[in-house]
């Protein structure tokens, strides 16, 4: 079992403006942490996503809006979601990392993959960029796996503290894709009740502010992990947001980095049982740099084969 990590320098050029929570330093913190902790891992340069891959998920008008040349500086699509001259290339590389990672795990080149990219994606709907997100890269990954690799059961697992309304919107009537989410309720974007079931493929677990490790783990152990097991996915895709950490400024969960490592290991075990180990993870939220670095290490460490996990170098956050 090997793991590939995908990124691209263009992902740093998506400029959201001064004091924006979704800033380039997020990706820098993740990159530095992973390079220091896992110096022998293989890094791959993310390609640009093909237009056809984007159009499987997004309306042509949205694709044109994001990719339109922009020399005017930073413009706002909504109060939270920005476009800059570097945004189109960053979004193409983020979605391209998703498709390349799927090709890698489905083609046998690697068993697992983590995409250290930005902008995040899980709030982007079929026709609307929102919530810091331009293209929904995890949705692009899922539909690429179905269209290009013939898969018929793909699980998208989302543990970002914010509900992935865009992913749910895209998959709500797609029985080949299962969407699983734990998230804080109430909180932006205001979706993700347990009653939202799609065609029986949506499983939402809204949890209250102040949720700590015990409640988070029991929710996954008793409700969400069994649903994934029952679906028996041929591929697991993870929207890996780390803003449920207690240090994060945009939400009120009280999780530790170890909680993300625990859940990631549980998801790897399901991938081993049903999907020949195939798993692709995409960076989503996480807005405290120290927490983001620590959680990324815990997450990627859990994706490693067991005999490689002890090789991780323990490096304090700088």
The catalytic residues are 123
Contact, 81 vs 130, CB < 8 A? Answer: yes
CA nearest neighbour of 237 among 168, 145, 164: 145
Contact, 263 vs 236, CB < 8 A? Answer: no
* Residue 94: how many other CB atoms lie within 10 Å: 31
Question: 19: which 2 tokens?
Answer: 């004091």
Q: What spatial distance separates the first Cα and last Cα of the chain, rounded to whole Å?
A: 31
């Amino acid at each position: 079992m090997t793991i590939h990590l995908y990124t691209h320098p263009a992902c740093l050029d998506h400029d959201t403006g001064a004091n924006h929570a979704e800033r380039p330093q997020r990706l820098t913190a993740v990159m530095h942490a992973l390079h220091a902790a896992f110096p022998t891992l293989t890094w791959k340069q993310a390609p640009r996503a093909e237009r056809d891959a984007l159009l499987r998920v997004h309306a042509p008008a949205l694709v044109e809006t994001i990719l339109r040349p922009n020399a005017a500086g930073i413009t706002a699509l909504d109060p939270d979601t920005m476009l800059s001259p570097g945004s189109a290339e960053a979004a193409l590389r983020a979605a391209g990392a998703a498709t390349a990672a799927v090709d890698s795990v489905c083609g046998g080149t690697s068993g697992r993959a983590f995409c250290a990219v930005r902008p995040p994606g899980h709030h982007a709907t079929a026709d609307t960029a929102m919530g810091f997100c331009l293209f929904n890269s995890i949705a692009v990954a899922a539909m690429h796996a179905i269209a290009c690799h013939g898969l018929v059961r793909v699980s998208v697992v989302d543990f970002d503290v914010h509900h992935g309304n865009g992913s749910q919107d895209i998959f709500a009537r797609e029985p080949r894709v299962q969407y699983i989410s734990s998230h804080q309720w109430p909180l932006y974007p205001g979706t993700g009740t347990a009653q939202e079931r799609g065609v029986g493929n949506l499983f939402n677990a809204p949890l209250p502010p102040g949720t700590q490790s015990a409640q988070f783990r029991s929710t996954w152990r008793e409700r969400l992990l069994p649903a994934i097991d029952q679906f028996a996915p041929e591929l697991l895709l993870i929207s890996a947001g780390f803003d449920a950490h207690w240090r994060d400024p945009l939400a009120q969960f009280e999780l530790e980095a170890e909680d993300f490592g625990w859940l990631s290991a549980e998801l790897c075990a399901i991938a081993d049982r049903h999907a020949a180990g195939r798993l692709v993870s995409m960076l989503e939220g996480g807005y405290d740099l120290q927490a983001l670095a620590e959680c990324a290490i815990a997450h990627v460490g859990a994706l490693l084969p067991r005999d490689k996990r002890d090789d991780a170098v323990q490096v304090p956050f700088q």
